[in-house]
Structure 1
Amino acid sequence: MADTPPPERRWRDDLHLAHTIADQVDPQTLAHFDHQDFAVETKPDLTPVTDADREAERLIRDYLGRARTRDSVLGEEYGTSGHSPRQWVIDPIDGTKNFVRGVPVWATLISLVEDGEVVVGLVSAPALGRRWWAVAGGGAWSGRSLSAARQLHVSSVAGMEDASLSYSSLSGWAERRRLRGMLSLMQSCWRTRAYGDFWSYMLLAEGAVDLAAEPELELYDMSALVPIVAEAGGTFTSLAGEPGPFGGDALATNTLLHEAALALLDHETD
């Protein structure tokens, strides 16, 4: 019986595929962003969507349909297709509000979930000229290509009084009746900034911030972020402490601050 290959080799081809797809999608989304030549609609959940989002997701689905015929796909714009314990989870443009307003902080998120674990994650932000990726067991990396990358590590900050926290906005915390907990966390930290969306978590993986939290997220918002944070040495859970991207909200930290942050966020709401 053949030995099972190490994780980073087992999913190496899937990671290469994610990079290849991002290489195809990035020029398309960046062209729309640069020229602001897209139509904007409001979805039933009152979030914006552009024809650039839909075009990018169709391109990704078409590529996966040819390269991974047996795999399932879950995307923000077109839902779930297929039935397989291997599922690609995609957000064609994370940060659509930024995209629409000409703010360059947006990205395409591509991940692979296998048997309930996110094993590949890739975040590509072409307007920033940045890309991040990770495979379970293979470390977290950032660079312009697989051959030109640096390994990522979270910070070693151990005290909340020295910690930098990033978030998206306060409105969602109020809507979820968790504002008191979030304010407690903010007041305990040395510095708070609303970098927002995927950017908070990539800065965490790079060690530039120490905590990131959001009160309401979908699987496609989080899936690609999880292995990058974890392989950089961080911890990614729901606000209730459930590991991974399946709890509907998120707290990511450098691990050293995680339990303290969970306790602060658990303060009773009004």
Structure 2
Amino acid sequence: MASYSDDLILAGKLADAADSITTARFRARDLKVSSKPDRTPVTDADTAVEDAVREVLAAERPDDSVAGEERGGTAWESGRAWVLDPIDGTKNFLRGGPVWATLIALVEDGRPVVGMVSAPLLGRRWWAAAGEGAWMSDPAGERRISVSAVSALSDAYLSTTDLGSWTEYHSREAYLGLVDACWESRAFGDFWHHCLVAEGAIDLAAEPIVNPWDVAPMQILLTEAGGRFSDLSGAERFDGGSALSSNGHLHDEALGYLRR
């Protein structure tokens, strides 16, 4: 198996560069905000992060392609491509909430092989590389992580991002059926609940609508942590438009509810 150690080190360098910008612009009085065509917000911090990361990649990996939420690009089906979300959780960032992160993934021939998630206001970072396990750091230190051993939905902890999105993009009834089958549900949302599944704090995270850059690092993080990641059809891909993260034991049964 190929080693991605150098790429993982680079991903950490990219996250450091992103964190220096986002933390400086968080709650800034002169933060500039606009809207994209889908009416989601974008700040000058989003664009500054992506531009800074692209600059480093151009110097360090000039032969790799780059696809980002703010500057575009979709060429990840073949070869090597870095997929970027400069600030996942922009609405939280705008409101002064701490739950947002920079997401970085290296995708090789359509499959993520390196993932990095950095949430500086939470004091947490998660990362993984193919064959090298899944890891996180927090104020307690750095440690390898793995998914939970929960094997029954009746004991499972489930999260989504926004209940309203199930009405608009999939089926509110299907999601509520899964909620009823589980022990407990919350809406940790965005990047955070996928990372919580990877570290075993919760068991399932489901989203009816995602962009590729929202979940590219999650696929490798979940699989290296011993879990599963797919879209809601069950296809193990980050660009299917939806997402289900699980500890693996519950994946097929959860899909059964969400496919209804």
| Range of TM-score over shorter length | over 0.9
Give the structure 2 partner of residue 16 of structure 1.
9
Deviation at 1:250, TM superposition (A): 0.3
* Residues 105 and 115 in structure 2, CA contact (< 8 A), matched pair in contact too: yes
Give the structure 1 partner of residue 171 of structure 2.
178
> Residue type of the partner of 1:57?
E
Aligned partners of 1:79 and 1:238: how far apart in 2? 22
Query: Structure 2: which 5+ residue stretches go unaligned?
Result: none
Give the structure 1 partner of residue 131 of structure 2.
137
Moved over 4 A (4+): 81-84
Identity %: 50
* Residues 27 and 94 in structure 2, CA contact (< 8 A), matched pair in contact too: no
Aligned partners of 1:37 and 1:238: how far apart in 2? 38
Deviation at 1:224, TM superposition (A): 1.0
| TM-score for both structures, normalised by structure 1 | 0.92
Moved more, 171-180 or 70-79: 171-180
Whether 1:126 and 2:101 are equivalent positions in the alignment is no
**Paired residue total:** 258
Q: Which residue of 111, 122, 138 maps to 1:117? A: 111
Q: Over residues 199-246 of structure 1, what are the superposed CA-to-partner deviations in whole Å (9 max), with x where a residue is unaligned? A: 000110111100000001111001011111111111000000000202
Deviation at 1:45, TM superposition (A): 0.4
Computed over aligned residues only, the root mean square deviation of the Cα atoms, in angstroms, reads: 1.5
Moved more, 257-266 or 81-90: 81-90
Give the structure 2 partner of residue 3 of structure 1.
none
Give the structure 2 partner of residue 253 of structure 1.
246
Q: Over residues 16-75 of structure 1, what are the superposed CA-to-partner deviations in whole Å (9 max), with x where a residue is unaligned? A: 001011112202101111435311111100100001100000000001011000000000
Aligned partners of 1:189 and 1:134: how far apart in 2? 28
Query: Structure 1: which 5+ residue stretches go unaligned?
Result: 1-5
Aligned in 2, Cα 1:20/1:74: closer, same or farther, shift over 3 Å? same
Aligned partners of 1:111 and 1:243: how far apart in 2? 16
Deviation at 1:183, TM superposition (A): 0.8
| TM-score for both structures, normalised by structure 2 | 0.96
> Residue type of the partner of 1:166?
S
